[in-house]
Structure 1
Amino acid sequence: MHPLDKFRYCPACGSKHFEIQDEKSKKCENCGFEYYLNPSAANVALIVNDKDELLVATRKKEPAKGTLDLPGGFADIGETAEEGVVREVKEETGLTVTEARYVFSLPNVYVYSGFEVKTLDSFFLCQVEDFSTLHASDDAAALQWIPITDIHTELFGLRSVRHGLYRFVESYKKP
């Protein structure tokens, strides 16, 4: 099912004549309102320690509960992608990010409650000065450090994280 099929009535006037215009939009035949389905902003943190190990989480919730993941999540309304990744890292790991440097982005489909949420996932290389507050919380059931050379992308439950990790591992060089 296409995500636009979930929107049956015009959000502006309530008309049932809310018709698909193209693959990413619907238009109301009554009032002319057009709705465009754009991706939701999400972010992913790449946190590396001085031993060239990557901080990896185990997902606490669906989708992909129990699989490996990286800290991150959806950006909130009114925050930048950088603010979002800093907040998500704090919520899931207890760590305070001192610098978040954008690396790349990847499109993704995140299935939540049977609904396909199209996302644009931004990956950030995050610096953390103090790891003493590290603890799993929020969406993370557990945290672990894995040497970058030992990362097996097939163990990660979300497609964009797998692709992003592959890209990161291939290009990783110690500064």
Structure 2
Amino acid sequence: MHPLHQFKFCPKCGSGRFVENNFKSKRCENCGFVYYFNPSSSTIAIIVNEKNELLVATRAYEPAKGTFDLPGGFVDMNETGEEAVIREVKEETNLDVSEAKYLFSIPNTYIYSGFEVHTLDLVYLCKTGSTCNLKAEDDVEKLQFIKMQDLNPELFGLRSVKEVIKEISNRDDLK
């Protein structure tokens, strides 16, 4: 079901005459406001150590609690993707990112508070200094490094992250 079905009232004037305009939008028959449903931006951090191991998080909360994930999260308003991935890595791992290099993007859906959020996940290769301050924080239960050749996409709970793991497993440029 399309996510717009959950929007019953015009967010501008509150009218209940908020109807389908096209596949991507609804239009208010009272005030004329048109709302387009677009994806939210999110980030995913690829952090590889000198042993060619990937930093993997275990999710502490739903969705996909207890499954593997990669550090990252939603981009805040007035924040670039690079700023967001640097902030999210700090919040979740206590690591400082010295460089964030954009790799690729991938669409995803993410259930938050019972609502299906469509996202565009921006994937970054992140360089960090020492990992001696590594600590699972925020919504992360555990952090560990896993050898790239031992990664199993099926152990990752979010669809887009599974696809990211498949993609990076075939790349030689991640060191």
TM-score by length of 1: 0.97
Pairing 1:57–2:69 present:
no
Q: CA deviation at 1:132?
A: 1.2
The match for 2:141 is 141
| Whole-Å separation in 2 of the counterparts to 1:112 and 1:13 | 26
Q: Unpaired segments of 5 or more residues in structure 1?
A: none
Helix, strand or coil at the partner of 2:76: coil
The match for 1:94 is 94
- Aligned partner of 1:129: which letter? G
Helix, strand or coil at the partner of 2:170: helix
The match for 1:80 is 80
| Whole-Å separation in 1 of the counterparts to 2:116 and 2:96 | 31
> Are residues 149 and 8 of structure 1, via their aligned partners in 2, closer, same or farther at CA, if it must alter by over 3 Å?
same
Deviations 1:48-71 (A, max 9, x none): 000000000000010000000000
Aligned length: 175
The match for 1:129 is 129
Runs (4+) of structure 1 exceeding 6 A deviation are none
Report the aligned-residue RMSD: 1.0
Helix, strand or coil at the partner of 2:12: coil
- Aligned partner of 2:67: which letter? T
Q: CA deviation at 1:165?
A: 1.1
> Are residues 78 and 173 of structure 1, via their aligned partners in 2, closer, same or farther at CA, if it must alter by over 3 Å?
closer
Of all paired residues, the percent bearing the same amino acid is: 57
Deviations 1:140-159 (A, max 9, x none): 10000000010000000000
| Whole-Å separation in 2 of the counterparts to 1:110 and 1:12 | 26
Q: Unpaired segments of 5 or more residues in structure 2?
A: none
The match for 2:43 is 43
Deviations 1:3-50 (A, max 9, x none): 111111111111111001112100001111000000000000000000
- Aligned partner of 1:125: which letter? L
TM-score by length of 2: 0.97
Deviations 1:90-136 (A, max 9, x none): 00000000000000000001012221100000000000012111000
Helix, strand or coil at the partner of 1:111: strand
